[in-house]
Amino acid sequence: MKISKAPTADTGSALLPPLFLNWFQAKGWSPRAHQLELLEAAQAGQSTLLIAPTGAGKTLAGFLPSLVDLAQRGKSNAASRGIHTLYISPLKALAVDIQRNLAKPIEEMGLGIRLETRTGDTPAHKRQRQKLVPPDILLTTPEQLALLIAAKDAGRFFEDLRYVIFDELHSLVTSKRGHLLSLGLARLRRLQPGLQTIGLSATVADPDELRGWLVPQTDGSPLASLVKVEGGAKPHITILQTEDRVPWAGHSAVYALPGIYEAIKQHATTLIFVNTRSQAERLFHDLWMANEDNLAIALHHGSLDVSKRRKVEQAMAANALRAVVATSTLDLGIDWGDVDLVIHVGAPKGASRLAQRIGRSNHRMDEPSRAILVPANRFEVMECQAALDANYIGAQDTPALGEGSLDVLAQHVLGMACAEPFQADELYAEVTTALPYAALPRDTFDRIIEFVATGGYALKSYERFAKIRQAADGSWRVTHPRVAQQYRLNVGTIIEAPSLNVRLTRQRGKGSNVRGGPVLGKVEEHFIEALSPGDTFFFSGRVLRFEGIRENECIVSKADGFDAKIPSYAGGKFPLTTYLADQVRNILADPARWGALPDQVSDWLRIQKEKSVLPQPGSLLVETFPRGERSYMVIYAFEGRLAHQTLGMLLTRRLERAKARPLGFIATDYALSIWGLRDMGRMFKKGELPLSELFDEDMLGDDLEAWLSESFMLKRTFRNCALISGLVEKRHPGQEKTGRQVTVSTDLIYDVLREHEPDHILIQATRADAATGLLDIRRLSDMLGRIKGHIIHKDLDQISPLAVPVMMEIGKERVPGEAHETLLEEIAEELTREMSDHS
Amino acid sequence: MNLVSQITKTMLHGAAEMVVAGHRCVCDPSGAMYLEDDRILVVSDLHFEKGSSFARRGMMLPPYDTATTLAALGRVIARYNPASVISLGDSFHDGEAAARLPAQYAAQLGSLMAGREWVWITGNHDPDHPAELPGETFTELAFGNLIFRHEPSKRPCPGEIAGHLHPAAKVVRRGQAVQRRCFVSDRSRMIMPAFGAYTGGMNILGRPFHGLFDAQAIIAYMLGSKRVYPMTAKALYI
């Protein structure tokens, strides 16, 4: 913040030992102001947050205090010392990368510092040696930290710990992984109260949250100090200009293909970001078809086989590629060679995400990044424009930290019992020093202990099988070594969606019982689930034919032709952020700002203004109109797809009760459309069903309850909570379980638990998760409060221009709330009818 | 009797009737099967005390599965008031599960058994007679043209009523898949769905079912919340 008072190269000589100054000099460099500022804060005993854009030399800055301290401490006298500095990164690859980058200065200065990584890939013998002879600096991941502090020798291992460095802190803290990490930090602080933390982060909306995260939540303890590097050159961002018609709806951006291809040709290396795997597949395929010049274009997403991904990454680092089509797997860290252009296809959905992705190009902070945004439809044109404005003004919309989840706490409590017996009072005091758990009520903590011990059920029938039990002195300890073994196998918060290997066979049309070929990657079970043999789809850059399923493999063959019959699930993976939604609404409402939009888009808005009205900030526009035999209602809420889906479910229930006979609904990021048999516009106007009643906040009471109880979304959330909390094991000693083979169905457990103990702690945790996650209830409730008394109803004779996009989604996307029973009945009736016809 | 009349004949309580080896079998949406002419009710794979069986190994599943299964069993017994009940094996999740049965549930089970003939068929999870409980235990039992056993035989076996495989069927519509437990039959033999609260399902197009049925004549009665839904081979997905 106070850049002016930053130490200069002169004061640097006071902070840095001669060894370091000479090294900088020999390189022809001088230490950067923020590097010295961070060093000064660290040497003054402060924990510090460093906020800097990519390419600012964040890593060296983060390690400088350690290196200086270690250099002054003198050569390490092996065996007698524990870890001095712990570095934690969200990605294994990042830890490996850092080791390479840091080894060089250490060697060149002859510091004699031992630097090692410890990840899931580290062989057992090396891990054992690390325990006996700890390195000075250990580079690791949140999961490995959880394992290290749950070990019996944790106290000795960390007895010399001085610094803990958190890389990419902004991306870690908002997830359950971040919750687990915050608890790990709390434990480290108990083991070593004098330790200092250093957080490295990209720009965030609220730095104070991260500053708080880095220090213990005890009375009067100050926030971590802040060192902020202002961004280098402003990025150069444009929206793709095209003569072609921007589509009303959809996500494929096929219209822009010639423009994208031209941009690739004009640049050395282009990174193309899309929001979902299927968009990546689709775009890669289309580019390949258009690739008349045989440019080296590759595909990279998380479902592809690891070896394939590594190959692409290596080719990228060697500058052998002209373009890579990628999803969020490339969002973080790691150096990607000389990228000189980033193309973002589809709206970025969040301004921060866009900034991060654009940072991938020109990894040197003093040169401007170049980026082109490619909106896939007309609403996205406005969204891109809004994001573009946001990037220039440096606005950020990273989500707030939120409260620590209880399933993670349960996992941590068991881990702490594995380390050593604990007293509930002491562990509670420790846990509440972590920011996400600072407000944790004591009785909730006690219920979590009960949960860990015996499941925490009202029916106390598992006392004799307890995993942890209180000894005479009141301390909780594990009852059997097997418990610790199981804990170690199941540590972590990353739950992969059940998925199947995609295996290519050359034998076509013979079903799944054939000799298999290479594995191409993994696909989610829910995608495969709706395919029948013979269906074709895009994967790994080709068109594949689904043959069948064998154990946990999906057998495919190469398909003829270039088009896939099954369009992969389309739709943005990330919901629109509140910040961008507001911006889009502002653009819409203000014709003065339409000048920045392409003519076809501003014309579209102009006609909307003539035929209906424009949605205004601070109110909610509801349009009704007839179409075919049905009555439609379109609600322009701009709250993101998840919140709209929840709203759709709840409104449909209410309309049902009001006898409006609703038939279905569809949600996009911008609007929600509901259709039914009765004229809803008339019902609203006649006062038969006042809109104020329909949209009353009380829908979040009983209606929500009733819907939640049968919602499949809650079951999906429950599964994650059950796995993370250790109620159900991901893996059991001796048998590696894939997501597909969890030993017992969590859906069935959920049904039974909800029936018998609806207020069980794990059901509470599930609901809290769903409220912020899949259902986005918080956002919905904010909106309902805001628009009270500000609903504008427009009853029209026909569809309005603004309604076209959402109406075009009807029939394309699945309707998630559709009752399974209805579906079964429909198929059964159909079969019966066919049979009678044939007899 | 042809396929059509079987499929269309939906009965009271959402059950459906089909003829297997000459016996009229009523497939109830609860997953129980009733031989109306002989007043025999058949249930399979109750897996009592599966929850506590997992708890012994450190997975504290909600201890309410036995209560849920017993309640469902109670409802279907009240509905048909059978003279005899056959439990088709894996009635208990492990060898000690019957001994572990909490007293209140043992009593509840006892009252369901009272006044009727009760047959325990042994299964792979429960190879012996359940401790202290009444009823007779058999490894298999023949009745009329029917033979009741836990594990279905690999070869064609007319009249066989078995369990063990926990059959489930999957159908797809508008990109949405629905999987439910089911009865599966080709009118020569039948495999029953698992009845227990914590018992899942295995797709009937999967390998363990290969060769057990005449693929053309296969009918799956999928269990819905209020009725069963008959499906033929063409509607099924793997």
CATH of the domain at A348: 3.40.50.300
User: Is CATH 3.60.21 the classification given to domain B3-235?
Assistant: yes
pLDDT at site B10:
54
CB proximity B1 to A under 8 Å: no
pLDDT at site A663:
79
Cβ atoms of residues A678 and A702 within 8 Å: no
Nearest CA among A662, A659, A654, A658 for reference residue A631: A662
For residue A565, what pLDDT band results from cuts at 50, 70 and 90?
low
Average pLDDT over residues A573-596: 83
Q: Which of A55-64, A385-394, B59-68 has the lowest mean pLDDT?
A: A385-394
Q: Calculate what percentage of chain A has a pLDDT beyond 90.
A: 40
pLDDT at site A819:
62
State the pairing for strand pair A163-166/A85-88: parallel
Examine the pLDDT at A68 and tell me if it is beyond 60: yes
Nearest CA among B27, B46, B28 for reference residue B121: B46
Examine the pLDDT at A476 and tell me if it is beyond 80: yes
For chain B of 238 residues, list the mean pLDDT of each consecutive stretch of 10. 46 85 95 96 97 93 97 97 97 94 95 96 93 92 96 94 96 80 96 96 91 92 92 90
In a domain, A836, yes or no: no
Give residue A780's region: left, alpha or beta (phi > 0; psi -120 to 50): alpha
pLDDT at site A11:
60
B138/chain A closest Cα distance in angstroms: 28
Examine the pLDDT at A108 and tell me if it is beyond 70: yes
> Is A727–B171 a contact, with Cβ atoms under 8 angstroms apart?
no
pLDDT at site B215:
87
Residues A383 and A410 in one domain: no
Cβ atoms of residues A543 and A562 within 8 Å: yes
pLDDT at site A80:
60
- Model pLDDT for residues A181-199, shown as the tens digit of each residue: 999 999 999 999 999 999 9
> Is B176–A823 a contact, with Cβ atoms under 8 angstroms apart?
yes
pLDDT at site A3:
36
Neighbours of B39 (CB within 10 A): 15
CB proximity B110 to A under 8 Å: no
Residues A286 and A433 in one domain: no
Give residue B166's region: left, alpha or beta (phi > 0; psi -120 to 50): left
pTM higher than 0.90: no
In a domain, A7, yes or no: yes
Average pLDDT over residues A166-193: 93
Contacts of B2 in chain A (CB under 8 A): 839
Q: Which of A82-91, A449-458, A523-532, B198-207 has the lowest mean pLDDT?
A: A523-532
Cα–Cα distance list, A27 to A22, A31, A96, A105, A176 (Å): 9, 11, 24, 10, 42
Nearest to A814 among B170, B174, B230 (CB): B174
| ipTM field | 0.91
Quote the distance between the C-alpha of residue A808 and its chain's center: 28
B36/chain A closest Cα distance in angstroms: 24
- Model pLDDT for residues A796-826, shown as the tens digit of each residue: 999 999 999 888 877 654 444 456 777 788 8
Of A297-306, A315-324, A770-779, B67-76, where does the model show the most confidence? B67-76
Residues A151 and A261 in one domain: no
Contacts of A759 in chain B (CB under 8 A): none
Q: Would you tell me which residues 481-500 of chain A have a C-beta closer than 8 angstroms to some C-beta of chain B?
A: 482-483, 486
For residue A359, what pLDDT band results from cuts at 50, 70 and 90?
low
Average pLDDT over residues A319-326: 89
How far is the C-alpha of B189 from the C-alpha of A642, rounded, in Å? 47
Q: Would you tell me which residues 775-814 of chain A have a C-beta closer than 8 angstroms to some C-beta of chain B?
A: 814
Cα–Cα distance list, A209 to A3, A174, A193, A401 (Å): 20, 11, 21, 7
Structure tokens at A385: 């424009």
CB proximity B115 to A under 8 Å: no
pLDDT at site A737:
39
The Cα diameter of chain A in Å comes to 97
Domain ranges of chain B: 3-235
Q: Calculate what percentage of chain A has a pLDDT beyond 70.
A: 87
- Model pLDDT for residues A658-715, shown as the tens digit of each residue: 888 887 788 888 999 998 889 999 999 999 999 999 999 888 887 787 777 666 678 8
Examine the pLDDT at A208 and tell me if it is beyond 60: yes
How far is the C-alpha of A517 from the C-alpha of A503, rounded, in Å? 6
Residues A436 and A536 in one domain: no
In a domain, A838, yes or no: no
Residues A319 and A374 in one domain: yes
In a domain, A581, yes or no: no
**Higher pLDDT residue, A68 or A4?**
A68
Residues A490 and A508 in one domain: no
Residues A22 and A151 in one domain: yes
Nearest CA among A212, A220, A139 for reference residue A182: A212
pLDDT at site A560:
77
In a domain, A605, yes or no: no
Chain B residue with the nearest C-alpha to that of A761: B62
Bridge partners of residue A138, in order along the sequence: A86, A116
Chain B residue with the nearest C-alpha to that of A726: B59
**Higher pLDDT residue, A554 or A483?**
A483
Number of structural domains, chain A?
5
- Domain of residue A671: give its range: 612-695+788-816
pLDDT at site A562:
66
How far is the C-alpha of A726 from the C-alpha of A710, rounded, in Å? 24
In a domain, A398, yes or no: no
- Helices A761-772 and A746-756: crossing angle, nearest 10°? 110
**Higher pLDDT residue, A129 or A390?**
A129
Residues A48 and A132 in one domain: yes
Q: Which helix (H) or strand (E) holds B146?
A: strand B146-149
Q: Which of A5-14, A125-134, A453-462, A552-561 has the lowest mean pLDDT?
A: A5-14
CB proximity B234 to A under 8 Å: yes
> Is B231–A727 a contact, with Cβ atoms under 8 angstroms apart?
no
pLDDT at site A816:
46
CB proximity B217 to A under 8 Å: no
pLDDT at site A823:
78
Residues A252 and A384 in one domain: yes
Residues A487 and A503 in one domain: no
CB proximity A756 to B under 8 Å: yes
A495/chain B closest Cα distance in angstroms: 18
Nearest to B62 among A457, A530, A836 (CB): A457
